[in-house]
Structure 1
């Protein structure tokens, strides 16, 4: 990147001696590495048309390739007519040094105004190579405004050998617009509506027409004004060569459904990574994942001789939701490139009967099984300073339906355009927490002692969970059933800012002593997203509800990245309904890295100087040097 002499003089004049931060005017001379334009368009998908938020005209958006220890600048344009955007949350990546890049509105930054843009600085750390995703963090936009991130090793050397790789980005199609979903979920009690389960699960944005029995989901006719346009119906075709080792990067970009998938006649999958952390090899014949989770697996494709014995070169990839009331089936196709002469015509519709019998109950899949490929510094129970319990439950009142974290809610507010301070209610601040910390310093930091001693780790004045750098905290996620009114669900819990050590899960009530015994000789992997199951009993699995059995999952968190971080259920509908919490980790000096407010002024107001538009070049902080 090149700057004029006057620009260089300006940079030098504002370079702070303590932090290494510098301010740069991103004018015409600045060229971002990636440009993402988020718009609202009617797109064709799985035999339907849907008004959707898309990235560079597609859903999913284009893949972004980063490298460890290398800075990448990503410019995100909010091309909506009036809606706010934060695009993106770089799901799974720590943004502890470039604090304005986590992409969480009202927590770590102001949202991007309509017709404005924001430049995100991303620098993966050594050890963060793997599969990630980016997505909007506003309302229901992430159902379509999302895409894959692939981070490559700094030296280009992988711990596992393979010949090529494929991306499988899983998302969902809903038969409602984003605005309709938001309106239904935030309505008062008498007008509340559940938008229902996904019509189908998509692989890289493609799929057959829905097979759901509800006649309201009958595919609508679709016509393209461009006769040469790609046919909007049909599955993703994953092409592979015979006798070749592939790395499949599977990314859970779904909004709602935990899911499971298998490859027909291919049961030789070897998991090598979970949530972008390399694991010891683990054999499996299926993959189960929830929203936000990622699994990389190795597969050695069949030889031509094996294909000849099977008499085919195309195989179904069968995908099914799990732990939902509606369980439809979706498909992609694994297709071999051969000259064996087998029929290679893509079926015009999904098979009338499922070709694979996938077990329904996989709640113990890979539990206490996956271990890190290299030692990961797992803290012992003796190092744990305290426990924090986060209970998942649904509350129903005259004001509407809420999904809560220990009976508390937190949502971002799309409508905030003011600069007023905290409203001190059990909902959302008007000013993003990180902005307030830069403005007011320690006065904006929650009361740690009060939170820990009186409220189980939660500060009622700020509606946040404080933590101290250096602590080791066990977070116990609890699934609380609350009667036949509903509200007992499986939840993919996600943490921003760092990975946690996944201590496992189970039915009933959590017992730390018993679980520590399970950890004997076992080194938990680090994850950023884990499934909290709804453990139903016996024959009720998949056919009904049992509201008497709890379930739990335990995390161990080493507090080492100061910042304002979200911990929340990653089901978009539950997020809209309040199932989110904010954690303030560290004191004001640690969180701001000693930076004074005058050096970040452009970030401290809604639509401030750090946000660009058609007439304004933003003044942007650079936190890293290459």
Structure 2
């Protein structure tokens, strides 16, 4: 731990490609001030742009906070050859202590171009401490466009990070409730009551400017802590999807977009001509945001603004420059599958490992439990009977492995659906091909929650999903619905909320509950019963200790996570000069 306080660059003559400073600052996304964790003083933090290359990128991260540990995770980056740079406390590294810093160094090999994000991975600071990470193509991208724009979606709470997390761990349990605002690139317009809160002027709805008759790549990042969002754009035909979670897909049109926490998309936007704008009489259009898969709705949005000053000179209505925005663009209710089972990889040679290569099946059974009497009841999540906490084990898994002190019992894991109760992990041998099955299990109230499961390290293929109990017969039948499996690093689960059964699936990798994908009111499922499942297929050729967890921060705080120990017998060597500082 002490070594991290004085981490030295790997080669003294070098300088980091990027420097990020994690600090405390006042954030007022919707005019209501909140003490928050920020990156370089802002939320979101600076957008980092790097290029596919055989060379490493070096990012130095300082912890400028006075009393909080931190790490930074590079969400979606496989970390091939650099598992020590994944940024997870107690799994891949010691946390960065106040006043210290850590040097993250990793490669972005050809084929990794796409949209990613970075965020803190300690406590509840991820609500505001995040930013965009764009990996540019080494050569020309496979789709033509004139320029690109960024849409980073977030949640904004008035409560502090401490109050949010401590309530979740309290007895009695206190839920976070929905966010007070949905942010876009850190902005949201809000009505602040100065009698109750400290208010700040200048907050505004995010405005994204474009020019007519051009094609833009719009990168969308789901940096929400809780919300699962639908998005539609006024007077524009839809979204031409080209990328999902850092992997290119064949063009596919969607009338609206679904984005869960941790997910990323790119779509092509073909802007209107000057004549079309003149006919409509306006140059501003509302992009509507609404939350889904919870019993209450959150609302937000952003403005698409065309930079066409000569429209007014040519006789357009002066009021058309700032029209009354339509904030009620209809968005559909929760519905299964969205368009995700129709997406196919752009690279036609990209395919999952064959069935004959699969050595075993690993079950992941995220389960909600209660303990104590009603007045002192705690609510928490477990996987295979274990509640994950970010301070366990006492020495990070990866550091134990590099020091030769990590004892993995593969036989015990094989006899227990892939889970080793001694290390509280899921060990996988180097080169193994495994199917990881996510099971959505009913809670003590007979309800199911929505879970965007995020896997660190290599992106797996989404093979199938289905209703009810998982079985080989159900899996074989569901595989017939998959045109061509795509890779993802963040996928959704099913939900029944507070007595309402909702089929949570909008992706082929979604787990959902409900016969035939129908929604039923006032329906419950017996506690412990599996109501839906999804199957990932992973070739374990990226060694390291990698988290697998729900990306809804409240659920993760409550314990919904586990660790994959992949190929620990074939870890890459630590960089020269790094061991003394890292171990």
> After TM superposition, is the score higher than 0.5?
yes
Partner-residue secondary structure (3-state), 1:560: coil
1:438 aligned partner:
402
1:79 positional shift: 0.5
* Cα distance change of structure 1 residues 34 and 557 upon mapping to structure 2, 3 Å threshold: same
The answer to whether 1:185 aligns with 2:168 is yes
Partner-residue secondary structure (3-state), 2:108: coil
The answer to whether 1:393 aligns with 2:353 is no
2:42 aligned partner:
58
Cα shift readout 1:472-518 (whole Å, capped 9, x = no counterpart): 111111111124275x2100001111101012433322344444445
1:410 aligned partner:
388
Counterparts of 1:289-438 in structure 2, within 5 Å, are: 289-338=259-308, 339-341=310-312, 342=317, 343=319, 354-374=327-347, 375-398=349-372, 400-413=378-391, 428-438=392-402
Q: Partners in 2 of 1:387 and 1:473 — Cα distance?
A: 6
Q: Partners in 2 of 1:113 and 1:335 — Cα distance?
A: 43
The answer to whether 1:523 aligns with 2:484 is yes
Q: Partners in 2 of 1:116 and 1:362 — Cα distance?
A: 47
Counterpart pick for 1:565 among 523, 526, 546: 546
1:400 positional shift: 2.2
1:531 positional shift: 0.8
* Cα distance change of structure 1 residues 596 and 296 upon mapping to structure 2, 3 Å threshold: closer
Q: Partners in 2 of 1:336 and 1:379 — Cα distance?
A: 46
CA contact (8 A) 2:548 2:562 kept: yes
CA contact (8 A) 1:47 1:220 kept: no
Q: Partners in 2 of 1:140 and 1:43 — Cα distance?
A: 15
Counterpart pick for 2:458 among 489, 495, 498: 498
1:587 positional shift: 3.5
CA contact (8 A) 2:281 2:320 kept: no
The answer to whether 1:167 aligns with 2:146 is no
Q: Partners in 1 of 2:200 and 2:272 — Cα distance?
A: 39
Give unpaired runs (5+ residues) of structure 2.
1-6, 496-502, 504-512
How large is the RMSD of aligned CA atoms in angstroms?
Answer: 2.6
2:509 aligned partner:
none
* Cα distance change of structure 1 residues 176 and 599 upon mapping to structure 2, 3 Å threshold: closer
CA contact (8 A) 2:221 2:262 kept: yes
CA contact (8 A) 2:284 2:321 kept: no
Q: Partners in 2 of 1:317 and 1:217 — Cα distance?
A: 29
Cα shift readout 1:277-324 (whole Å, capped 9, x = no counterpart): 000111111110111100111111111122222222111100111111
Q: Partners in 2 of 1:577 and 1:369 — Cα distance?
A: 34
Counterparts of 1:123-202 in structure 2, within 5 Å, are: 123-155=107-139, 157-187=140-170, 189-190=171-172, 192-202=173-183
Q: Partners in 2 of 1:456 and 1:519 — Cα distance?
A: 22
Give unpaired runs (5+ residues) of structure 1.
1-22, 225-230, 414-427, 605-626
Moved more, 58-67 or 263-272: 263-272
Between the two proteins, the alignment pairs up a number of residues equal to 544
1:106 positional shift: 0.1
CA contact (8 A) 1:323 1:542 kept: no
2:580 aligned partner:
601
CA contact (8 A) 1:244 1:301 kept: yes
The answer to whether 1:95 aligns with 2:101 is no
CA contact (8 A) 2:50 2:136 kept: yes
Counterpart pick for 1:222 among 199, 212, 221: 199
CA contact (8 A) 1:209 1:219 kept: no
Q: Partners in 1 of 2:21 and 2:575 — Cα distance?
A: 32
TM (norm. structure 1) is 0.82
CA contact (8 A) 2:232 2:331 kept: yes
1:540 positional shift: 9.0
